[in-house]
């Protein structure tokens, strides 16, 4: 079987921030080694100050490593030509506040020497993709946090990059914006692009990432496939349609016969995200519909829904 090629190779990367006089201030990364494969979504996790943004800036060549090597697309990170194949959504927006969305994308398109016709095509497609058609002529200083994140993503994609680096892509987004952002990230993978993202929102990372690395104090602590890391090695889960008490007792008897311990039988629950999104969807389709009753026992918008298998 062919191994997918590595888009990023990081070897023994360390970064020490120094003060004005060259004295050591903070060791932000300690001997980090990891690979990111073509076509995967890779998540960088870790508490505040663990070195995630530093890693991204080293990848982009915005910072120089103290020791170690980074290669991207087989070239050293210091080779700035590689940045034409990279899109970057920074943690903090650095976009020009007095430009509107159209002007912003046009400006960044020009930086990449994209022709006028192509710029217009990409700008329209991206504005539609990130859901900002209604606000494309408004100056970015009037944008909400979530809208700023959306135009930031559109900007990161204007050069049709092969690798996209997203620093906290879902921060500040409401659940609908978060779902859209996650869908957009999955679309990027479907288009064959590679994505590296960092986030504190662990549920979002779990939903979209193929592999993750957890940093702590600048050191790599855990790395692997999300499904492998989270899969229980000591328990088995079987999902069935609703069982009668009699059937359940028979199942328990079978388990005893096979020396297995019966732990619990429960109805699977959906996520709060499912409930929120369904409520918004129903509110749009049936404005008069409510699920509120005095005793809190109203039906749920998710009742009679196909629940996702857990
Ligand atoms: N320009 C800088 N000068 C000095 N120290 C810095 C600089 N940038 C980052 N640091 C320090 O390096 C460490 C790692 O910071 P980094 O921004 O990479 O963390 P992070 O994992 O992205 O955190 P967060 O989750 O808060 O975004 C922190 O201790 C931080 O204070
Ligand atoms: Mg950061």
Q: Packing angle between helix 101-111 and helix 145-157, nearest 10 degrees?
A: 30
pLDDT at 22 (0 to 100): 76
pLDDT at 9 (0 to 100): 96
pLDDT at 25 (0 to 100): 84
Q: What is the mean pLDDT of each run of 10 residues along the chain (310 residues)?
A: 82 92 87 96 94 94 93 87 91 88 95 94 95 94 91 95 95 88 94 94 92 94 91 87 93 94 86 84 86 74 62
**By alpha-carbon position, which residue is closest to atom 9 of ligand 1?**
54
Domain boundaries, given as residue ranges, for the chain: 6-230, 235-305
Closest ligand to residue 167's CA: 2
Proportion of the chain in helix, strand, coil states, percent, rounded to 5? 35, 20, 40
* 175 touches 35 (CB < 8 A): no
pLDDT at 280 (0 to 100): 86
pLDDT at 298 (0 to 100): 67
15 Cα: distance to centroid of ligand 2 (angstroms)? 15
pLDDT at 2 (0 to 100): 61
Q: Which residues contact 201 (CB under 8 A, 6 or more apart)?
A: 170, 171, 178
Closest ligand to residue 55's CA: 1
Kindly state if the Cβ of 54 falls inside 6 Å of ligand 1: yes
pLDDT at 155 (0 to 100): 95
Closest ligand to residue 54's CA: 1
48 Cα: distance to centroid of ligand 2 (angstroms)? 7
pLDDT at 1 (0 to 100): 53
Rounded to two decimals, the pTM is: 0.86
Ordered DSSP codes for 241-283 = S---HHHHHHHHHHHHHTTPPP---------HHHHHHHHHHHH
pLDDT at 161 (0 to 100): 96
Query: Over the stretch 237-291, which tens digit does the pLDDT of each residue have?
Result: 889 999 999 999 999 999 999 999 999 888 888 888 888 888 888 888 888 888 8
Counting from 1 in the atom list of ligand 1, the atom nearest the Cα of 46 is: 21
CATH class of 6-230: alpha beta
pLDDT at 28 (0 to 100): 95
What is the DSSP-derived secondary structure letter of residue 231? S
**By alpha-carbon position, which residue is closest to atom 5 of ligand 1?**
17
């Amino acid at each position: 079987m062919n191994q997918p090629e590595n888009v990023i190779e990081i070897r023994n990367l360390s970064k020490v921030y120094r003060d004005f006089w060259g004295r050591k201030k903070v060791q932000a990364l300690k001997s980090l080694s990891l690979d990111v494969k073509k076509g995967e979504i890779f998540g960088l996790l870790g508490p505040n100050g663990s070195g995630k943004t530093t890693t991204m800036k080293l990848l982009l060549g915005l910072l120089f490593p103290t020791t170690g090597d980074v290669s991207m697309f087989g070239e050293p990170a210091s080779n700035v030509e590689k940045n034409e194949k990279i899109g970057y959504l920074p943690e903090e927006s650095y976009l020009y506040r007095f430009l509107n969305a159209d002007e912003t994308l046009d400006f960044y398109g020009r930086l990449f020497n994209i022709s006028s016709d192509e710029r217009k095509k990409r700008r329209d497609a991206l504005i539609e993709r990130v859901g900002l058609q209604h606000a494309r002529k408004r100056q970015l200083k009037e944008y909400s946090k979530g809208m700023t994140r959306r135009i930031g993503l559109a900007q990161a994609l204007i050069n049709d990059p092969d690798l996209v680096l997203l620093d906290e892509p879902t921060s500040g987004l409401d659940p609908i914006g978060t779902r859209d952002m996650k869908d957009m990230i999955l679309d990027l993978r479907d288009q064959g692009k590679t994505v590296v993202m960092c986030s504190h929102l662990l549920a979002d990372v779990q939903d979209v990432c193929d592999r993750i690395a957890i940093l702590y104090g600048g050191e790599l602590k855990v790395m692997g496939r999300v499904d492998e890391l989270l899969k229980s090695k000591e328990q088995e889960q079987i999902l069935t349609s609703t069982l009668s008490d009699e059937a359940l007792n028979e199942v328990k008897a079978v388990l005893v016969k096979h020396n297995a311990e019966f732990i619990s039988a429960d109805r699977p629950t959906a996520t709060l995200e499912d409930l929120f999104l369904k409520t918004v969807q129903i509110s749009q389709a049936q404005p008069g519909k409510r699920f509120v009753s005095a005793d809190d026992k109203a039906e749920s918008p998710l009742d009679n829904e196909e629940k996702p298998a857990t």
